[in-house]
């Protein structure tokens, strides 16, 4: 028994020593491990999510492995929510996880990843002339301080879906301005009240989360407002254009058209309202088109129209830029092989595959003239200008902090109708300025 005890305690002591001794510097040692030869099989770890279209993804990755038989792609599954994915991925990168090679970056992360040294600069792999084949907004989202860190896998941008049948019934054309949209919706609601008491004018994403920032960017931007000043160094939330747009959302959209229920909606909930036939207008990303015309999910197949988001009479239509970029970990031991994977996945052939089989809008310009892509997605033709002008959210290494401040500000003024918008905007602005200042001289 005594020997049992001794063995146990020496094992336990070993554990403590191991934990205490292996300190941060040791992590670097592994960077110098000899590179395996190109011919020996290599496994690349790719942090992704559980695909909405698993077959499309499986097929794409299989095709890659056929072309590159010595590279095996091992997928690691993170949550779908952008924020939860970010939190898991950055935990690995913060600890210089060498087992990680490839990941997705939401368009809002490259500045953060670049400043932290997590993402490998891709300038040599991805030269200027190759970048010109992509939508400019998607390339810009991968840039930070003149280096490029991500290759756009697709583009997302906000757009207005509407009930074609209802608008036609009441003799309306798709609205060009927000006020027009409000008038149309109210007329339709009055007319449909007895037949359809659940019908709402508008459904969008106003829960306290990242999507709220996108939706509000579209209102503020289409009123000539912005979150930050043009040089990106200070908050611009207290500018009267910005304040008025926020007030419009509170008084017209939340309290009237969308009802406060929208304060609990992310994409999925707001889409469900629309697909159940309970909203006249709906703001969402390109994917909603496919689901809206799928009878397993939608009661309004064939009754959907899509157009650019409205603007205020004195502003320009603004669509928030979304989407995901492929990136390579700075700690990867196989950057060349990782690049081969990205090059393959971002190729015209694979993007076309995703556009047709997963309704993901391509990031490559040429595909918008491809007859097969357009046949599967006829709406792209009208939306191409939106994709070209989509507006990015603030680009800064402290974006997660800025986003939390914005989320709190917007959610508070929308959920508490008695709050003073200007006061809340000032408080949010002060905090944003404080954090932006930290990176001003870097």
* C-alpha–C-alpha distance, residues 123 and 135, integer Å: 17
Q: Interface with another protein includes 49 (CB under 8 A)?
A: yes
* Tokens encoding 293: 């015309």
Kindly identify the residues of this chain, within the stretch 348-387, that bind another protein according to CB under 8 A: none
Whether 100 contacts 45, CB under 8 Å: yes
Instruction: Compare residues 267 and 337 and give the one whose CB is closer to another protein.
Output: 267
From 131-139, 238-246, 283-291, 374-382, span contacting another protein (CB under 8 A): 283-291
Q: Interface with another protein includes 55 (CB under 8 A)?
A: no
From 128-136, 178-186, 312-320, 408-416, span contacting another protein (CB under 8 A): 408-416
Cα 3 to chain center, whole Å?
Answer: 58
Rounded to the nearest 10 degrees, the angle between the axes of helix 210-221 and helix 399-415 is 80
Task: For the CB of residue 367, give the shortest distance to another protein in the complex, in Å.
Answer: 21
Q: Interface with another protein includes 301 (CB under 8 A)?
A: no
Whether 158 contacts 281, CB under 8 Å: no
Choose, by CB under 8 A, the member of 5, 33, 34, 195 that binds another protein: 5
| Binding map of another protein across residues 76-95, x = CB under 8 A, - = no contact | xxxxxx-x--xxx-xxx-xx
* C-alpha–C-alpha distance, residues 212 and 217, integer Å: 8
Give the sign of the dihedral formed by CA 418, CA 425, CA 106, CA 356: positive
From 112-120, 159-167, 168-176, 311-319, span contacting another protein (CB under 8 A): 112-120
Closest CA to 346 of 372, 319, 365, 331: 365
Instruction: Compare residues 178 and 274 and give the one whose CB is closer to another protein.
Output: 274
Kindly identify the residues of this chain, within the stretch 195-224, that bind another protein according to CB under 8 A: 197-198, 207-209
Choose, by CB under 8 A, the member of 229, 240, 255, 268 that binds another protein: 268
- List all residues 6 or more positions away from 96 whose beta carbon is below 8 Å from its beta carbon: 27, 28, 331
| Binding map of another protein across residues 231-260, x = CB under 8 A, - = no contact | ----------------------------xx
* C-alpha–C-alpha distance, residues 368 and 362, integer Å: 8
In 316-431, where do the E strands start and end? 321-322, 324-328
* C-alpha–C-alpha distance, residues 43 and 65, integer Å: 11
Kindly identify the residues of this chain, within the stretch 414-433, that bind another protein according to CB under 8 A: 414-416
Task: For the CB of residue 275, give the shortest distance to another protein in the complex, in Å.
Answer: 8
Task: For the CB of residue 54, give the shortest distance to another protein in the complex, in Å.
Answer: 8
In 1-123, where do the E strands start and end? 42-49, 71-78, 102-106
Q: Interface with another protein includes 8 (CB under 8 A)?
A: yes
Choose, by CB under 8 A, the member of 296, 371, 375, 418 that binds another protein: 296
Instruction: Compare residues 74 and 381 and give the one whose CB is closer to another protein.
Output: 74
Q: Interface with another protein includes 442 (CB under 8 A)?
A: yes
């Amino acid at each position: 028994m005594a020997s049992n005890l001794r063995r146990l305690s020496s094992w336990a002591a070993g554990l403590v020593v191991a934990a205490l001794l292996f300190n941060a510097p040791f992590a670097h040692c592994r960077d110098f491990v000899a590179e395996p030869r190109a011919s020996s099989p290599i496994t690349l770890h790719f942090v992704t999510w559980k695909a909405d279209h698993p077959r499309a993804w499986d097929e794409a990755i299989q095709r890659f492995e056929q072309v590159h038989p010595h590279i095996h792609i091992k997928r690691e599954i993170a949550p779908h929510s952008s924020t939860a994915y970010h939190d898991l991925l950055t935990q690995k990168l913060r600890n210089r996880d060498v087992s990680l090679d490839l990941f997705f970056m939401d368009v809002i992360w490259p500045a953060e990843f670049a400043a932290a040294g997590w993402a490998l600069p891709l300038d040599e792999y991805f030269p200027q002339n190759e970048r010109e084949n992509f939508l400019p907004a998607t390339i810009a989202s991968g840039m930070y301080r003149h280096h490029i860190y991500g290759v756009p896998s697709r583009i997302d941008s906000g757009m207005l879906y509407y009930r074609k049948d209802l608008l036609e019934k009441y003799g309306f054309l798709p609205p060009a301005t927000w006020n027009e949209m409000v008038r149309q919706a109210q007329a339709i609601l009055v007319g449909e009240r007895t037949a359809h008491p659940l019908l709402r004018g508008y459904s969008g994403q106003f829960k306290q989360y990242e999507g709220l920032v996108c939706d509000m960017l579209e209102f503020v931007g289409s009123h000539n407002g912005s979150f930050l000043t043009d040089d990106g160094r200070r908050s611009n939330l207290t500018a009267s254009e910005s304040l008025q747009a926020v007030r419009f959302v509170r008084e017209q959209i939340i309290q009237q058209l969308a009802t406060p229920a929208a304060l609990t909606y992310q994409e999925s909930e707001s889409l469900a309202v629309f697909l159940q036939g309970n909203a006249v207008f709906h703001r969402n990303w390109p994917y909603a088109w496919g689901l809206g015309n799928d009878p397993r999910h939608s009661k309004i197949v064939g009754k959907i129209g899509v157009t650019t988001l409205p603007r205020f009479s004195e502003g320009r239509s603004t669509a928030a830029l979304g989407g995901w970029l492929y990136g390579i970990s700075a700690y990867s031991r196989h950057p060349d092989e990782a690049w081969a994977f990205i090059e393959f996945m971002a190729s015209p052939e694979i993007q076309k595959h995703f556009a047709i089989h997963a309704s993901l809008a391509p990031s490559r310009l040429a595909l918008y003239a491809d007859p097969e892509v357009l046949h599967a997605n006829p709406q792209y033709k009208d939306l191409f200008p939106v994709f070209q002008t989509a507006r990015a959210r603030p680009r800064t290494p402290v974006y997660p902090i800025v986003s939390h401040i914005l989320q709190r500000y917007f959610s508070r003024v929308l959920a508490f109708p008695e709050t003073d918008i200007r006061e809340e905007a000032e408080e949010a602005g002060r905090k944003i300025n404080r954090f932006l200042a930290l990176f001003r001289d870097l």
